[in-house]
Chain A
């Protein structure tokens, strides 16, 4: 992979493409564009981007369908641009293979953070990062030791599974279904109570103020995300 990751922007609105292009280019990414689903598919074949920023509201194609199609051939991470009230669309996109989402209108900071998180995940496949650090929290993923402010804290197996999964996808959102399926198994994908209570317990152990969490963030109606500040 080249040092400059290539990002494909798919959006039919020229102003949005304009500011996406300038923001991403300023961060050092190489940017290619497409304004329709068709064009996007061609670009994917030609340019082999490292990440796709996809607007769900394309004129010629349903965004969800496009994700399905893309996923038939490549595993490129996709960050989806959606609108405020479309929780259903977001969840569907994520379940179908999108990596993350950003809600319009959004600030550049937010978008860049998501892009980084999605790319990092990719990078993780290639390297090893045995110890994860975030503020006062340190997690040794090999030895399964969690410390907060240098003090060791004890997590139950499920709590640890939850934390680990969040760390693996640090900065990216994980839907309720994904979390439930991975931790409890496919039979429990509807049991959001388990998830909820475990999140609460995890938060009570690792957050400074569980009522104002800074690490394990809730994505309303969608899932949870570990706040990877970098």
Chain B
């Protein structure tokens, strides 16, 4: 359990205490009924308390209670609402477990859950019941539960020692620590044995002899003491927490810091648990350290897993875990201890033969000797000690044997031999050995230990053969030379070892550097991607290649999660995986393979978290059986997941900004529309109403001319209103996509004619010139739509051109297109506005001074023209002031030939009397 640093002596609530208090808001409260052994009456006590609560009016249900057919307990169940158990089929048997979903749906204030350390049947959401309970607590439901002291993880070894029974179902200490209340249900050993005799105690599946041993007075006393002590420690902690939360000055424990040294030995688990208990007693923080020496690379898979598992266990029990690279274990440990103010070191002592210790040295002995001020606790146990690596060890066989490095080493020695031979006339024999040493060194650096040792041996032989008298033989005359050769061999092997080790270290360092570089490249790449889909693809690809796994990413879509990216590409996840992914999303914790929830799923799912919450779920899968990821890989994955989450959040925020902007723009347009319509409809109406009421009230008093004027006004304004309404309708049709152009081949002259006729009044004060070449091909258009376009353009021209000026309609054929231009002599268009005039509600000078128009006319022109497959652009005249609006339309593909069907109508038809002709009425059928 963590305690405040000794620096927190001033009278302020410690941050940890406050944080803990804050986190408890909204969660349910957990009360554990703790007992030393089965049969002390925990369930009974729990039920009694439940009844009391119920009388107080608390809404409680029974989640799961095991009565084991004891009548008194079963009697207590009456009157309580029991949630039916869930039936699970597994391998042909039907098992019953607590129905977690039913309880969550029921939402009681309090639920009773027996046997907190129980293991759920396969197929349940969580493998352990305490995880179910955690879900209940997160949902805000209070829980009462029962627990035997033997199930507590950190006490597992102690209990095993006492009772000779190793309990497999363990509960992490963190759950116990997090409980708000622990009530000890105590019974003296004598009373308990009595109850056993009366058959009131249920013990499961044990051999009778073991049971009898379990219920010995000595054992029971020891277990009782464990339970009592644990509860007492708990009270202690609560007192401390209270004092910290209220800033009461008190006697804090001295700031001890523990470090436990992990190895690959069999008993490393017990070591970790011991460390946890020690840390508890001392109220100290503790760290678990593993030194990754050269030996680590030679460990088997099983041994490496043991180390990884030990690190995970330590983490679960509340330690900080560190993996250090290093060569000399004892020195590295002490260096870390010194750097981190460690006050106590815990290490396991291995039993090795003296011979082994002589050769390899003992880490423990080195540690003890050089620890200085730090206390060292050595735990004895039957296991292997981590071997020191300071001296050259026995040659180890390489993982996969390849002949090539050996041959190359041979070549190097050969070269050395050549050089030595060349210069052996001029130097001392002894010095020649150095050349061979170079070869050995080179071989060690390039190819590792094996080939370099081989090179040492060959060098020795060559040296002896070629340079030690008698020459060209393997015998040695001079005893001094024997010594020289031995020394050479020793030095060569030492060099090999050193260099090879350095090479390994360099490789590890290079690996690490590469990983870091990849992480950096990953984050840089992510920073550059703006599109969510690209981001997801890059992410899954990177993660898959960096960790050699299969990666998928799911993002929320409406109410559910949807698969958005996968590398290698995937379409769907199966139901189990989807359930795990959804659980991860809802609870913001890992689920799936290798985790505490739904471990039967194929993949491991991690939430992609940012400070603001979850943005998605990442799923990992690998074909390798066993653990999915090593702790190192898991750390790397967490780093990648965090970066991905941040990048996703960034993209999402950018999108949100865009959407907000779009909405603001839409709002602007909408209010512009309302203002515009309101004004442009009301103005003519004002004139009409005014004129008409004037005529009705005072008409008699007016003379003919005035009456004429008023009625003319009414007519003009009504027509204007009609045009506006027409514009609005056109705009609505355009916007709603209800435009269905009815095309046919049309004469431009025809359409220009009708447009001019319709606009006759508007154009009354202008001259109009029409310039259409006679050979203009027919156009494939909707007559009505295009006529409206021309009418709008003429309207526009008339509005902005001065009275009496000229308006031209000109058409030309240009290659595959036909242009139709409406040209006026007005003020022209400001160059910056040549595109903007086609926007809705745009007016060149947006003041009331101009003749009002809804500003929709040109927008409608553009909409209709584009719907007909053409383009419209605005420009200013080059010869003088004025505007040119040009429509470009494609020429229809072929023109049907105009031919007169040959049969001329028969003459009789021509001379038929008129009334008969008239009677030839197309209306008659």
- Residues of chain A at the chain B interface (Cβ within 8 Å): 71, 75, 84-85, 87, 97, 99, 105, 107, 121, 124-126, 128-130, 141-142, 144, 156-158, 161, 164, 168, 174, 178, 181-182, 184, 188, 192-194, 196-197, 199-200, 203, 210-213, 217-218, 220-221
- How long is the Cα–Cα vector from A105 to B725 in the complex, in angstroms? 11
- How long is the Cα–Cα vector from A124 to B900 in the complex, in angstroms? 30
Collect the chain B residues with CB atoms within 8 Å of residue A181's CB. 922
Q: A129-B914, A196-B747 are in contact. List 5 more A-B contacts (CB 8 A).
A: A71-B923, A178-B922, A181-B922, A193-B745, A220-B754
Collect the chain A residues with CB atoms within 8 Å of residue B757's CB. 212, 217
- CB–CB B742/A196 < 8 A: no
- CB–CB B920/A182 < 8 A: yes
> Quick one: which of B867-925 are within 8 Å of A by CB?
896, 898, 900-901, 904-905, 910, 913-915, 917-920, 922-924
Question: How far does the Cβ of A204 sit from chain B's closest Cβ, in whole Å?
Answer: 9
- CB–CB B756/A212 < 8 A: yes
A211-B752, A211-B770 known; A197-B898 Cβ under 8 A? yes
Collect the chain A residues with CB atoms within 8 Å of residue B904's CB. 157
Collect the chain B residues with CB atoms within 8 Å of residue A203's CB. 749
Collect the chain A residues with CB atoms within 8 Å of residue B787's CB. 220
- How long is the Cα–Cα vector from A172 to B914 in the complex, in angstroms? 18
Complex: chain A residue closest to B722, CB-CB: A105
User: What are the 4 closest A-B residue pairs judged by CB atoms, nearest first?
Assistant: A178-B922, A211-B770, A197-B898, A221-B784
Task: Tell me whether chain B's interface is mostly helix, strand or loop, or mixed.
Answer: helix
Interface size of B as a range: 35 or more
Complex: chain B residue closest to A123, CB-CB: B918
A-B contact pairs, 19 of them (CB 8 A): A87-B742, A128-B913, A128-B915, A142-B914, A164-B917, A174-B922, A182-B920, A192-B744, A196-B746, A199-B747, A199-B750, A203-B749, A211-B753, A212-B756, A217-B757, A218-B754, A220-B784, A220-B787, A221-B783
Collect the chain A residues with CB atoms within 8 Å of residue B733's CB. 85
Of B742, B754, B756, B918, the residue contacting A124 (CB under 8 A) is B918
- CB–CB A99/B754 < 8 A: no
- How long is the Cα–Cα vector from A129 to B915 in the complex, in angstroms? 9
- CB–CB B745/A161 < 8 A: no
Collect the chain A residues with CB atoms within 8 Å of residue B917's CB. 164, 168
Complex: chain B residue closest to A124, CB-CB: B918
Question: How far does the Cβ of B714 sit from chain A's closest Cβ, in whole Å?
Answer: 12
Collect the chain B residues with CB atoms within 8 Å of residue A197's CB. 747, 898
Collect the chain B residues with CB atoms within 8 Å of residue A130's CB. 914
- CB–CB B750/A196 < 8 A: yes
Question: How far does the Cβ of B790 sit from chain A's closest Cβ, in whole Å?
Answer: 11
Collect the chain A residues with CB atoms within 8 Å of residue B905's CB. 157, 161
Complex: chain B residue closest to A125, CB-CB: B918
- CB–CB B746/A97 < 8 A: no
Question: How far does the Cβ of A179 sit from chain B's closest Cβ, in whole Å?
Answer: 9
Question: How far does the Cβ of A84 sit from chain B's closest Cβ, in whole Å?
Answer: 6
- CB–CB A105/B753 < 8 A: no
- How long is the Cα–Cα vector from A56 to B756 in the complex, in angstroms? 28
Collect the chain B residues with CB atoms within 8 Å of residue A218's CB. 750-751, 753-754, 783
B778 within 8 Å of A (CB atoms): yes
A211-B770, A211-B772, A212-B753 known; A87-B784 Cβ under 8 A? yes
Collect the chain A residues with CB atoms within 8 Å of residue B392's CB. none
Complex: chain A residue closest to B787, CB-CB: A220
Complex: chain A residue closest to B895, CB-CB: A193
> Quick one: which of B761-791 are within 8 Å of A by CB?
770, 772, 778, 783-784, 787
Of A97, A164, A168, A184, the residue contacting B901 (CB under 8 A) is A184
> Quick one: which of B265-285 are within 8 Å of A by CB?
none
- CB–CB A194/B898 < 8 A: yes
Complex: chain A residue closest to B903, CB-CB: A185
- CB–CB A213/B753 < 8 A: yes
Collect the chain A residues with CB atoms within 8 Å of residue B745's CB. 192-193, 196
- How long is the Cα–Cα vector from A184 to B901 in the complex, in angstroms? 8
- CB–CB A221/B750 < 8 A: no
- For B750, B787, B904, B924, the residue with the greatest tally of chain A CB atoms inside 10 Å of its CB is B750
- CB–CB A200/B922 < 8 A: no
Collect the chain B residues with CB atoms within 8 Å of residue A141's CB. 914
Of B718, B900, B915, B924, the residue contacting A105 (CB under 8 A) is B718
B510 within 8 Å of A (CB atoms): no
Collect the chain B residues with CB atoms within 8 Å of residue A121's CB. 918
Complex: chain A residue closest to B896, CB-CB: A193
- How long is the Cα–Cα vector from A142 to B747 in the complex, in angstroms? 32
Of A125, A164, A200, the residue contacting B915 (CB under 8 A) is A125
- How long is the Cα–Cα vector from A230 to B213 in the complex, in angstroms? 129
> Quick one: which of B722-737 are within 8 Å of A by CB?
722, 726, 729, 733
Question: How far does the Cβ of B193 sit from chain A's closest Cβ, in whole Å?
Answer: 98
- How long is the Cα–Cα vector from A105 to B722 in the complex, in angstroms? 8
- CB–CB B900/A156 < 8 A: yes
Collect the chain B residues with CB atoms within 8 Å of residue A174's CB. 922
- CB–CB A144/B910 < 8 A: yes
Collect the chain B residues with CB atoms within 8 Å of residue A84's CB. 726, 729
- How long is the Cα–Cα vector from A158 to B751 in the complex, in angstroms? 23
Collect the chain A residues with CB atoms within 8 Å of residue B753's CB. 211-213, 218
Complex: chain B residue closest to A174, CB-CB: B922
Question: How far does the Cβ of B709 sit from chain A's closest Cβ, in whole Å?
Answer: 18
Collect the chain A residues with CB atoms within 8 Å of residue B722's CB. 105
Question: How far does the Cβ of B474 sit from chain A's closest Cβ, in whole Å?
Answer: 113
Complex: chain B residue closest to A224, CB-CB: B750
- How long is the Cα–Cα vector from A72 to B783 in the complex, in angstroms? 33
Collect the chain A residues with CB atoms within 8 Å of residue B783's CB. 218, 220-221
- For B715, B722, B923, the residue with the greatest tally of chain A CB atoms inside 10 Å of its CB is B923
Question: How far does the Cβ of B567 sit from chain A's closest Cβ, in whole Å?
Answer: 54
- How long is the Cα–Cα vector from A188 to B469 in the complex, in angstroms? 123
- How long is the Cα–Cα vector from A84 to B745 in the complex, in angstroms? 22
- CB–CB A125/B746 < 8 A: no
Question: How far does the Cβ of A100 sit from chain B's closest Cβ, in whole Å?
Answer: 11
- How long is the Cα–Cα vector from A142 to B916 in the complex, in angstroms? 13
- How long is the Cα–Cα vector from A142 to B905 in the complex, in angstroms? 16
- How long is the Cα–Cα vector from A212 to B767 in the complex, in angstroms? 13
Of B715, B747, B770, B784, the residue contacting A212 (CB under 8 A) is B770
Collect the chain A residues with CB atoms within 8 Å of residue B914's CB. 124, 128-130, 141-142
Complex: chain B residue closest to A85, CB-CB: B729
- How long is the Cα–Cα vector from A184 to B902 in the complex, in angstroms? 11
- How long is the Cα–Cα vector from A184 to B751 in the complex, in angstroms? 24
- How long is the Cα–Cα vector from A156 to B900 in the complex, in angstroms? 10
- CB–CB A168/B918 < 8 A: yes
- How long is the Cα–Cα vector from A85 to B727 in the complex, in angstroms? 12
- How long is the Cα–Cα vector from A203 to B747 in the complex, in angstroms? 12
A210-B749, A212-B753 known; A193-B778 Cβ under 8 A? yes
Collect the chain B residues with CB atoms within 8 Å of residue A125's CB. 915, 918-919
Collect the chain A residues with CB atoms within 8 Å of residue B920's CB. 182
Complex: chain A residue closest to B748, CB-CB: A211
Complex: chain A residue closest to B774, CB-CB: A204
Complex: chain A residue closest to B726, CB-CB: A84
Question: How far does the Cβ of A140 sit from chain B's closest Cβ, in whole Å?
Answer: 12
Of B715, B778, B910, B924, the residue contacting A196 (CB under 8 A) is B778
Complex: chain A residue closest to B911, CB-CB: A142
Of A105, A144, A200, the residue contacting B749 (CB under 8 A) is A200
Collect the chain A residues with CB atoms within 8 Å of residue B746's CB. 196
Of B742, B750, B784, the residue contacting A200 (CB under 8 A) is B750
Complex: chain B residue closest to A77, CB-CB: B923
Complex: chain B residue closest to A144, CB-CB: B910
Question: How far does the Cβ of A193 sit from chain B's closest Cβ, in whole Å?
Answer: 5
- How long is the Cα–Cα vector from A84 to B753 in the complex, in angstroms? 19
- How long is the Cα–Cα vector from A156 to B778 in the complex, in angstroms? 22
Question: How far does the Cβ of A30 sit from chain B's closest Cβ, in whole Å?
Answer: 24
Collect the chain B residues with CB atoms within 8 Å of residue A157's CB. 900, 904-905
> Quick one: which of B486-519 are within 8 Å of A by CB?
none
- How long is the Cα–Cα vector from A182 to B749 in the complex, in angstroms? 25
Question: How far does the Cβ of B71 sit from chain A's closest Cβ, in whole Å?
Answer: 83
- How long is the Cα–Cα vector from A218 to B787 in the complex, in angstroms? 11
Complex: chain A residue closest to B738, CB-CB: A85
- How long is the Cα–Cα vector from A107 to B726 in the complex, in angstroms? 16
